[in-house]
Amino acid sequence: MTRRLEEPDYRRRLLHEMVRIRRFEEKCAELYSATKIRGFLHLYIGEEAGAVGIMQALQPEDAVVATYREHGHALARGISARALMAEMFGKVEGCCRGRGGSMHIFDAATRFYGGNAIVGGGLPLAAGLALADKMEGRDRVTACFFGEGAIAEGEFHESMNLAALWQLPVLFCCENNLYAMGTALRRSESETNLAVKAAAYDVPSWAVDGMDVAAVVEAAERAATAVRAGGGPYFLECRTYRFRAHSMYDPELYRAKQEVEEWKKRDPIATWMATLEAAGEIDAATLQRMDADVAAEIDDAIAFAEAGTLEPVADLERFVFSERGSE
């Protein structure tokens, strides 16, 4: 167990981060229903331990490549709730001026290289980011998140192979929530033990309980340390589950309610809260304060987004080509 994980303050911070993501996204669902947010909205609820846990192992100079279910990663990486909410409102104050929306969150300041809405599309990008770091001799890690659905894509296999062949510093984080949209893992893969696939490319791999934030932190720190030490890529599988539908307009015909209820018993927030409570590290007052802080932050983000401005239509054709030099 890493030293930090023994510090109550740090353990409370992990809880706070997960609660923050959960509440933010619950609000997103509400705002979506009220048509404030449009397009596709994919919620991460149930999977928060993954993003929060893995970000613990990253440094500010590291890079993150994420998927279209990336609000949790964006918040955990340090993109402000304001910039994120304004983006979803399609406002120019959003982190991508409202050009990207929920599925395409980018942020140069935190080296967040996107939400990518093509399953598997981010993996080659991550290999390239890592290639540049390696060629330039920079001590950096690129964390690349993807779901288990991406494993069926050729880009997963191409990327694993290239990263291993060239020993690129990529931390591949597979968030296995068992369903690629509505297709269960067992219905799409002949081999459902994902670690075996990574091993076939000679990439060290580790499967971790993605509902246990402490376990994820530990595994991520071990993996990141190995990558940083020049050991090439690492494959980390977070076994997790999304509690909500794939997107807002999904009647969930493909899975049983009973199954969802079973997994909810392992809710990463509830279980971590129980752990801290048992250790006497939180009490009702702490939780109340935490709830109030989170609520205030989210209310502020919504007010910010509401008050935001729409980019003038005259700017439509900006950002097709760069407006500055390449330096």
Partner 1 sequence: MAEFLMPSLGADMTEGTVTRWLVQPGDHVDRGDIVVEVETDKADMEVEIFEAGTIEQLLVPQGEKVPVGTPLAIVATAAAPAARVALPETSGPAPPLAEAPKPAAPSPAAPRPRATPTARIRARELGVDLAAVHGTGVAGAITRQDVEHAALRRAPEPAPRAEGRRLLVSPRARLLAGERGIDLATVTGSGPGGSITAGDVERVAAPTAVAAPSLPSGPAVEVPSGRPRAAGRGPIAALMERSNREIPHYYLGIEVDMSRALDWLKAENRKRPVPDRILASALLLKATALAAHEVPEVNGYFIDGGFQPSATVNLGVAISLRQGGLVAPAILDASAMPLGELMRRLQDLVARARAGRLRASEMSSGTITVTNLGEQGVDFVYGVIYPPQVALVGFGKVTERPWAEAGMLGVRPVITASLAADHRASDGHRGGQFLATVAKLLQEPEHL
Partner 2 sequence: MSGAVKTTCREALRAAIREAMQRDSRVFLMGEDVGEYGGCFAVSKGLLDEFGPERIRDTPLSESVFVGAGIGAAMNGLRPIVEVMTVNFSLLALDQILNNAATILHMSGGQFNVPLVIRMATGGGRQLAAQHSHSLEGWYAHIPGIKVLTPGTIEDFRGMLWTALEDPDPVLIFENALLYNLEGELAEDAGPVDISKARVLRSGTSLSLFSYGGSIPKTLEAAVQLESRGIDPEVVDLRTLRPLDTATIIDSVRRTHRAVIVDEGWRSGSISAEIMARIMEESFYELDAPVARVCTAEVPLPYAKQMEDAALPRVETIIEAAMNVVGGNG
Q: Which residues bind partner 2 (CB under 8 A)?
A: 63, 94-100, 104, 106-108, 113-114, 116, 118, 121, 123-133, 135-136, 142, 154-155, 158-159, 161-162, 165, 318-326
- Answer with the entry of partner 2, partner 1, none that 94 interacts with (C-beta below 5 to 8 A by kind): partner 2
C-alpha span between 164 and 180 (Å, rounded): 25
Select the binding partner of residue 30 from partner 1, partner 2, none (C-beta < 5 to 8 A, by kind): partner 1
User: Smallest gap, in angstroms, from Cβ of residue 261 to partner 1?
Assistant: 13
CB of 304 to partner 2, least distance (A): 16
E strand or H helix at 119, and its extent? none
320 lies in the site for partner 1, by CB under 8 A: no
For residue 281, count CB atoms less than 10 angstroms from its CB and return exposed for 0-12, middle for 13-18, buried for 19 or more: middle
Considering CB distances under 5 to 8 angstroms, the limit depending on partner class, which of partner 2, partner 1, none binds residue 61? none
Of 37, 34, 39, give the one whose Cα is nearest residue 91: 37
| β-bridge pairing 142-147 and 170-176 | parallel
**In this structure, are strands 234-239 and 142-147 parallel, antiparallel, or unpaired?**
unpaired
Helices (H), the chain: 8-33, 48-55, 71-77, 81-88, 122-135, 154-165, 185-188, 194-200, 213-228, 257-264, 268-278, 284-307
In the complex, the smallest distance separating the C-beta of residue 33 from partner 1, rounded to whole angstroms, is 3
Smallest distance, partner 1 to C-beta of residue 23, A: 11
Q: Which CB, 53 or 100, lies closer to partner 2?
A: 100
Q: How far apart are CA 170 and CA 26, in angstroms?
A: 31
Find tokens 């304060």 and name the residue: 289
182 binds partner 1 (CB under 8 A): no
**Taking the complex as a whole, how short is the minimal distance between the CB of residue 321 and partner 2, in angstroms?**
5
Which residues sit opposite 173 in a β-bridge? 145, 236
Smaller CB distance to partner 2: residue 127 or 171? 127
Which one of partner 2, partner 1, none interacts with residue 31, CB within 5 to 8 A by kind?
A: partner 1
287: partner contacted, choices partner 2, partner 1, none (Cβ within 5-8 A by kind): none
Give the interface with partner 1 as residue ranges (CB under 8 A): 26, 29-36, 38-39, 247-251, 302, 306, 314
